[in-house]
Structure 1
Amino acid sequence: MIHQTLHDGWHLSAVSGDVPEAVQGVSVPAAVPGSTHLDLLAAGLIPDPFLDRAEEELTWLHRADWRYALTFDAAAPADGERVDLVFEGLDTVAVIELNGVRLGSVRNMHRGYRFDVREVLRDGANDLVVTFRSALAYAAEVEAELGWRDHAYPHPFNMVRKMACSFGWDWGPDLQTAGIWKPVRLERWSAARLASVRPLVTVDGDGRVEVRVDVERAGTAEVELVATVDGHEERVVVDGDTAAVTVVVPDPELWWPVGYGAQPRYDLRVDLLADGGVVDGDERRIGFRTITVDTEPDEIGTPFTFVVNGKPVFAKGANWIPDDHFLTRITRDRLARRVDQAVGANLNLLRIWGGGIYETDDFYDVCDERGVLVWQDFPFACASYAEEEPLWGEVEAEARENVARLVARPSLALWNGNNENLWGFADWGWADQLAGRTWGLRYYTELLPAIVAELDPTRHYSPGSPYSPGDAHPNDPDHGTRHEWEVWNRLDYSHYLDHVPRFCSEFGFQGPPTWTTLTNWVHDEPLTSTSPTFLLHQKAEDGNGKLDRGLAAHLPVPEDFADWHWATQLNQARAVAFGVEHFRSWWPRTAGAVVWQLNDCWPSTSWAAVDGDERPKPLWYSLRHAFAPRLLTFQPRDGRLVLAAVNDHDEEWTGEVRLERQTFGGEVLEATTLPVTVRARTAALIELTEPLVTPNDPEGEVLVATTADARAVHLFAEDRDLSYDPAPLSARVEAVTGGYRVDVRATSFARDVALLADRVAPDAVAEEMLVPMLAGETRSFLVRTDAVLPDPAVLAGPHVLRCANGLVTPAVRS
């Protein structure tokens, strides 16, 4: 097999549409892989799409058509040689021509395409043209043909197999991409090639790798398949166009999720031989483990518990969206940074949400290496989908290709049919709107499970998220998976306590990005929560109203924008941590908490823990605390307050917990020390005495639980009603290797101490944040930065060193 990459020398020009004069008739260099927006940006013809209000200026791209053109040199096919033109991904609706001959048309971003060009390729210069139609115009045509079906946002994204959030979402921009978004190449081969390689990896004492292949032939030569794992080799003669060979690896080391063990992987080599010589091959790394989901009904309802190598796992997760709206800017290094941030927040699972893409091999490589389980949605989200052609055939083709591509990944834990579509049909009035038209049910209950059963029988398939089996409502908390959006949309976050779901696969709360990210991209004067550009980067319906209402139940809503920014970030962090701790305290009844969302695709106010410029928001720190392997959390049970101790270790947690009720000034009013014994991978409840939980002054006391490796605090009233010292902190700053150390002392109880270090230097990141400090305590915070600060004391300034106390002034309390 000979590959000739075709990435250099492309040019882009507009074909039709309401194109600005500066772009008309212009041909600009095109990056491949790439997209039209990025090429126009590089040529200086458009502003950065993320900057200020540029999104509004670029709506003309929604209906523009584009021509990508390349002239490349190649040799004409030799006798008996096959030559294929391979596109791994085209975004989205396009016609491909080589030397004036139309090779075909495409209409699916989620799959690759292969064209036999033996009769078209010529010796010397060859002209390749890819003409892209507006995906929006195409989708509107399909909608007119098949009939309208409801969708979450204005554009008919459900009528074309393209990344749904390319058309905008309640956290992302409406910048509809187009272009050659994955590699393109010529492949020359003879005799035979591997059309598909599907290693099914199982463990039953020994490890078994059943390698199934599809073979395309170009002659009559005898073809043999050889598979090798860890020095163990098996081979078989290929009779026809399919074959299978099984390699047994005795007593393999098992791959585990992060926090449960190591992630050993083995090299798998697959060779295709014709007449004794290797004509094609495939190399990848595999891991031996078993994984399933326990859905066996119990006395409560239907659990949804991941089980890896026979061990139940609490899924500490976050939802994943594409890490940049412009997908070709996402590098392996960027993915590694993001997954490292997930692991740093004590996560062990990422859910690839159905409004995005089938993630890249780089993403899965990084998760395989780090032990992060991956839940992969099929790309259906928040809409009803027609089951007629041309959609049915495209869905089948993309599903077959991607299931086969990902089958050997040890991190891949689950195939999920869709995001919220079963729920939508049940509750959002779709049945009346559809008037009997198809809406996607057969995809989720027939086509997709059949493909998974055929190509990847080693994994669990769930029809959707949320999903409840049988006649139960799709979002029933007692069955399967649940999404919790009444909190955020309508209810205070204290209402997370209303339900004890078996598995919560979506819940979250909004907050703005870090100060540096916000001010790098939004330049309103003055910058406020209602300034026009700030609101353009806030996509949620009534998003700021929900932020203010969610804040007002706990803290005053500040008038000063810097205070509002900090307060809403803090409230986001608290809200999500409140939900996580509630869910974890109910393990094993509740077996997973998957936060919406880990990451952002641009600079915006959103539910993300890491903003669009890769900076961790306060939410990231609260996730790290709430998902800590050993957690203490005060929880209500049957009208009383208890202390829950959650042990996500393989070792028993034994020791003592010190419980104190003290004044904000540090006077201990009641104290006791209790033994703690929590079995491995379990949660336990510790009863509390009345004197501990009965304050003399609810506005001025705090209950504290402390062990050697965990702490929890409980306040007896909301912050807005507490008698905080508004300025309880003093600090000293010292330069150290890699940044600065900030030694902070509390003269009174200080809640959620934080260092918003990026306000001082764009690369500055605090190692820790949202720490409760008792009166008299001193804590050192490390700030990592390459910046040399002329006056390091700015790290202790009023907009950098913060806590909740400063948001509650005496005037407000009165």
Structure 2
Amino acid sequence: MSETGKALSTGWRMALTAAGSAADPAALQSLSDVLDAPVPGTVAGALERAGRFDRTAPEPLDHLDAWYMLDLSGEAPGEAVLHFDGLATITEIWWNGALALSSGSMFVRHALPVTLTGSDHLALCFRALKPHLEKRGPRARWRPQMITPQGLRLVRTTLLGRMPGWCPDVYAAGPWRPVRLTRPTPAVPTDIRLSARLHENGKGQLEIGFTLDSAAAPVVECAGVSVEAIPNGDHSFSASLTIPGVEAWWPRTHGTPVLHDISLVVGGVRQTLGRTGFRRIEVDRGTDGRDFALIVNGTKIFCRGAVWTTADIVDLPGTRERYEPLLNLAADANMNMLRIGGTMAYETPAFFALCDELGLMVWQDFQFANFDYPANDPTFVENVRTEVSQFLDATAASPSLAVLCGGSEIDQQAAMLGLPETAWAGPLTLDILPALVAVHRPDVPYVENSPSGGAMPFSPDAGVTHYYGVGAYCRPLEDARRAAVRFAAESLAFANVPEQQTLDAHLPVPAVHDPRWKARVPRDRGASWDFEDVRDHYLGLLYGHDPARLRREDPARYLDLSRAVVAEVMEATFAEWRREQSTCNGALVWTFQDLLPGAGWGIVDATGLPKSAWHALRRAFRPVQVAVSDEGTNGLDVHTINDSADEQSLTLELSCLRHGRQPVVSGRREITLAPHSAQTLPATQLFGAFFDTTYAFRFGPPAHDVTVARLIDADGTVVADAFHFPRGRAAAMAFAAISSTLDQDAEGWNLALSADRFAQSVAINVEGFLPSDNWFHLAPGGAKTIRLVPRAGTDPAAKPSGTVGGIGVEAIVSF
């Protein structure tokens, strides 16, 4: 038998009561304070829609019980099943006034068979979490500082909202995932189980199982191959398809993420079972066992992207509509990986389906972080087994699921508190979780914990690290090479300042000094500094300004330099990591999106508008790329990279400019880059003679202040560019005059910009449109064309208007 059904998303009413004051739904009859509540949704979301909750100043809710009530009168009588895809967190399910089921995990799905009478009532009680968090459990070997309270290690719920200094205190409670009603229906398959593999010989292998009430023999089809399913009894069927020369699924930077529909034909009627991609993923640990690189379909992949938080801190949504704008931004930024860390929450299959389509690999931490979890508690372990099995089965067809990890900073927390290596890990990450992965997703590599692999779990020169040498620890930019990073599952956290239009609309207060501003700046609990101090350190280092004085005397320039400096640091760091000789095989930035408008970690702000860091990473992550590195007395090396699946025939140009506009030496060369390849050339090979490009020999005054490298295609389009400042960015600051021309073609609006000399960090401010590039350097000698793409809510016929400025621009230009 198979199932169809409907979402129970409307008609819900919500009431809050003191903890334990209502033992059952009958005790609610006298309540008058009842609100409409969307499902899926959260208690905070329902209150916010009623004007009774402020996410910027949240009131705690975990001392209250929350009751959700639904009248199902009018539903046709008969047998049915109620499905609860996610209930946060300690939940009672009441059916017609009787307790029918209890749940103790936010991450476990439930199915409740019921008999509908036509006058039924469903009630969900989300019991106050605070009393449960105050309970004592098995003694922990350590107590993390970052997460409060300690009782969270005993309860299976998200840590979002529970990390002071990291995110607002918005606690998850309520039916955060759909509630559905299904009825038995013949001739539709259920219990579908998929497994897709790609063999080294290029053959795809699809294993499928399903339940179907059908006398006719069903036929499974995929990628032009069909096979009759084998009956296994009790309406169960299975099929195995071998597909020669199947088109493989690739990360978007290295190929095409090809997906194949899977169909079932029963009695001449075709039904779609789903779709999947065929790919092979392995981890290369190197000859010494200290490396960490992902090998996809036999090709080493430089992984780049960011750490996902949530599409909305209040609603915790899981729909395609809420995911799509953000995931499109990740794809547009040339990312090929997102990590869902152990401090977040599991996303829905809709998230993975979009990542499948977009070619975004997903590094998935199981939802464990920092704590010493009670892995010897049978009830806890059973909840974990159910949670993990359900998640892996729900995403079984997704080729984008690339890495499964036991959690975040568990080993690191123990090590940093001085515990011996024997205490860092335990049966949860060493035994229980890998065993479940081996059964449910054997095609996905498992990593015990992030970070892990070195002399200390967080050592950057082995295994997987969380690298903040450049960043939180204020190391010089050269530390990105000195640290010998192998793979950074987190890196480069800064308090990234949003665009001014976001600040004007959502945080119109003086920067830094106003408490409302500072409340949005992330910090580590107990630290004497925050991530704005980190950004200010690099502002002083790169531009020679005293940040405290600058923000008093010229706050607008302070904010612009703050936007510029994070972009420069991120581009420079990834240029180092992506060069052919680097030890680094991938790095993910902390984090992708903000939880509130302000100077948060996100490279995309809480309104969905990219920040300067997003634009910088979009350039740094280009599949076809040029980068330069200062090798001291060895001169300037020029690195060209082709991650794409196509051969690239390009022209490489290099020019050294004095006073930002006068070429003192230049050179060019035709190059051909094979697919998935890289080349490095010394600058002198392009010049044909010695020139002190790095100003390492210092024979007299410097001859130039900036070097410009460009990759140009056969049409004359600049595919990628890179810049080197031999005496630093401050010494190269020459205020340029900018010219702009706005025109329209069949695809939309274009803004052509040119400069009379080298202009640093040019910024376009245009309401309602997203520039295809921003906070970029503009060299003289040609126009750079920026496409202005309408944002959601902007009339496609509207003509853009805005300004062009930046830290190296003589005067703001309007268009």
TM range (shorter): 0.7 to 0.9
- What are the Cα deviations for residues 606-663 of structure 1, in whole angstroms up to 9, with x where unaligned? 2222111111111111112111122222214476332222222334555543332221
Per the alignment, do residues 731 and 187 of structure 1 end up closer, same or farther by CA in structure 2, a change over 3 Å counting? same
Q: How far has the Cα of 1:751 moved from its partner? A: 1.5
Q: What's the offset of the Cα at 1:325? A: 0.9
The residue that corresponds to 1:706 in the other structure is 710
Say whether the 8 Å CA contact 2:308–2:592 is kept in structure 1: yes
2:170 partner letter: L
Give 3-state SS (helix, strand or coil) of 1:124's partner.
coil
Aligned-residue offset at 1:347: 1.3
Q: CA deviation at 1:122?
A: 5.0
CA distance in 2, matches of 1:655, 1:67: 64
Report the alpha carbon displacement of residue 805 of structure 1 after superposing the two structures with TM. Answer: 6.0
Does structure 1 conserve the Cα–Cα contact (< 8 Å) formed by 2:372 and 2:410?
yes
1-structure distance, mates of 2:666, 2:244: 56
Q: Which amino acid aligns with 1:5?
A: A
Match of 2:400 in 1: 411
Contact 1:507 1:594 in 2 (8 A): yes
Checking the alignment, whether the CA contact within 8 Å between 1:477 and 1:502 is kept in structure 2 is: yes
Is 2:17 the counterpart of 1:15? Answer: yes
- 1:27 aligns to 2:34 (yes or no): yes
Alignment of 1:212-291 (within 5 A): 212=209, 227-229=220-222, 230=224, 232-239=226-233, 244-269=238-263, 283-291=273-281
CA distance in 2, matches of 1:729, 1:788: 31
Please give the alpha-carbon distance, in whole angstroms, between the structure 1 residues aligned to 2:170 and 2:338.
Answer: 25
SS of the aligned residue for 1:137 comes to helix
Q: CA deviation at 1:448?
A: 0.9
Counterparts of 2:669 and 2:660 in 1: how far apart (Å)?
A: 24
Counting aligned pairs with the same residue, the percent is 25
1:573 corresponds in structure 2 to 567
**Per-residue CA distance 1:761-787 (angstroms, 9 max, x = gap):** 2x1322222332234544344434547
State the match for 2:519 in structure 1.
536
Whole-angstrom CA distance in 1 between matches of 2:704 and 2:20: 64
Q: Distance in 2 between matches of 1:388 and 1:5?
A: 38
Name the CA distance, whole Å, in 2 between partners of 1:535 and 1:664.
Answer: 39
Amino acid at match of 1:73: S
The answer on 1:729 being equivalent to 2:719 is no
What's 2:416 paired with?
427
Give the aligned partner of residue 460 of structure 1. Answer: 445
SS of 1:335's partner is helix
1:116 Cα shift?
A: 3.1
Partner of 1:508: 492
Residues of 2 paired with 1:693 and 1:553: CA distance? 21
Q: In structure 2, what is the Cα distance between the partners aligned to 1:699 and 1:28?
A: 72
Q: Deviations over 1:322-347 (max 9, x none)?
A: 12113454541332222221221111
In the alignment, which of 306, 312, 316 is matched to residue 324 of structure 1? 312
Amino acid at match of 1:38: G
Return closer, same or farther for 1:281/1:742 CA change in 2, 3 Å cut-off: closer
CA distance in 1, matches of 2:20, 2:521: 27
Counterpart-to-counterpart distance in 1, 2:268 and 2:786: 62
Which amino acid is 2:565 matched to? Answer: N
Contact 1:699 1:716 in 2 (8 A): no
Single out whichever of 616-625 and 377-386 deviates more from structure 2.
Answer: 377-386
TM-score, structure 1 as length reference: 0.85
CA distance in 2, matches of 1:551, 1:699: 26
CA distance in 1, matches of 2:11, 2:798: 47
Alignment match, 2:50: 43
The DSSP-based 3-state class of the residue aligned with 1:685 is strand
| Aligned with residue 766 of structure 1, among 768, 771, 780 | 771
Q: Which amino acid aligns with 2:487?
A: F
Partner of 1:663: 658
Question: Does structure 2 conserve the Cα–Cα contact (< 8 Å) formed by 1:587 and 1:683?
Answer: no
What is the rounded CA distance, in whole Å, between the counterparts of 2:268 and 2:121 in structure 1? 34
Corresponding residue for residue 810 of structure 1: none
Change (3 A) 1:549 1:77: same
Q: Which residue of 2 aligns with 1:201?
A: 196
8 Å Cα contact 1:223/1:237 also seen in 2? no
Deviation at 1:130, TM superposition (A): 0.8
Q: Is the 8 A contact 1:197 1:404 kept in 2?
A: no
Cα distance in structure 2, aligned partners of 1:454 and 1:605 = 43
Q: Please say if residues 20 and 65 of structure 2, whose CA atoms lie closer than 8 Å, have aligned partners that are also in contact.
A: no
Cα distance, 1:723–1:348 mapped onto 2, change above 3 Å: closer
CA distance in 1, matches of 2:311, 2:352: 14
SS of equivalent residue, structure 1 residue 62: coil
Match of 2:157 in 1: 162
Residue in structure 2 matched with residue 551 of structure 1 by the alignment: 539
1:520 and 2:505 matched: yes
In 2, the alpha carbon distance for the partners of 1:788 and 1:697 equals 53
Partner of 2:467: 484
Amino acid at match of 1:474: P
Are the aligned partners of 2:472 and 2:492 in contact in 1 as well (CA < 8 Å)?
no
Q: Structure 1 unaligned runs (5+)?
A: 808-814
**TM-score, normalized by length of structure 2?**
0.85
By how many angstroms is 1:68 displaced? 0.7
Note closer, same or farther for the CA distance 1:608–1:804 as it changes in structure 2 (3 Å cut): farther
Q: 1:28 to 1:645 in 2, by over 3 A?
A: same
| Amino acid in the other structure paired with 1:42 | R
SS in structure 2 of the partner of residue 614 of structure 1: coil
Q: Does the CA contact (< 8 Å) of 2:84 and 2:180 recur in 1?
A: yes
Q: Distance in 2 between matches of 1:268 and 1:336?
A: 23
Deviation at 1:73, TM superposition (A): 2.5
Equivalent in the alignment of 2:788:
783
Give 1:142 deviation, angstroms.
5.1
Distance 1:462 1:790 in 2: 49
2-structure distance, mates of 1:754, 1:440? 47
Change in 2 beyond 3 A, CA 1:169/1:250: farther
Residues 546 and 646 (structure 1 numbering): CA distance in 2 closer, same or farther, change over 3 Å?
Answer: same
Matches within 5 A, 1:295-310: 295=285, 297-298=286-287, 301-310=289-298
Residues 423 and 192 of structure 1: CA distance in aligned 2, closer, same or farther (over 3 Å): farther
Q: Give the CA deviation at 1:28.
A: 0.7
Q: Which position in structure 1 is the counterpart of 2:27?
A: none
Of 637-646 and 553-562, more deviation after overlay is shown by 637-646
Flag the 1:651–1:254 CA change in 2: closer, same or farther, 3 A.
closer
What is the distance in 1 between the residues matched to 2:247 and 2:467? 38
Q: Distance in 2 between matches of 1:430 and 1:804?
A: 50
Look up the equivalent residue of 2:807 and give its one-letter code.
C
Structure 1 pair 85–742 and aligned structure 2 pair: CA distance change class (3 A):
closer
Deviations 1:121-161 (A, max 9, x none): 45121121111123343223255887874252333333321
Letter in 1 for 2:41: G
User: Counterpart of 1:394?
Assistant: 383
Residues 346-385 of structure 1: pairs in structure 2 closer than 5 A: 346-385=334-373
Q: Residue type matched to 1:670 in 2?
A: V
The answer to whether residue 93 in structure 2 is matched with residue 96 in structure 1 is yes
CA distance in 2, matches of 1:478, 1:34: 43
* Alignment partner, residue 752 of structure 1: 761
Would you say how many aligned residue pairs link Structure 1 and Structure 2?
Answer: 763
Bigger mean CA deviation after superposition, 236-245 or 504-513: 236-245
Task: Please give the residue correspondences for 1:330-341 in structure 2 after superposition, counting only pairs within 5 Å.
Answer: 331-341=319-329
Aligned to 2:729: 719
CA distance in 2, matches of 1:423, 1:261: 35
Specify the code of the residue in structure 1 equivalent to 2:481: L
TM-superposition CA deviations, 1:717-772 (whole Å, max 9, x none): 2333x16333x123345464687654433223212222133xxx2x1322222332
Distance, in Å, in 2 between the alignment partners of 1:244 and 1:742 is 57
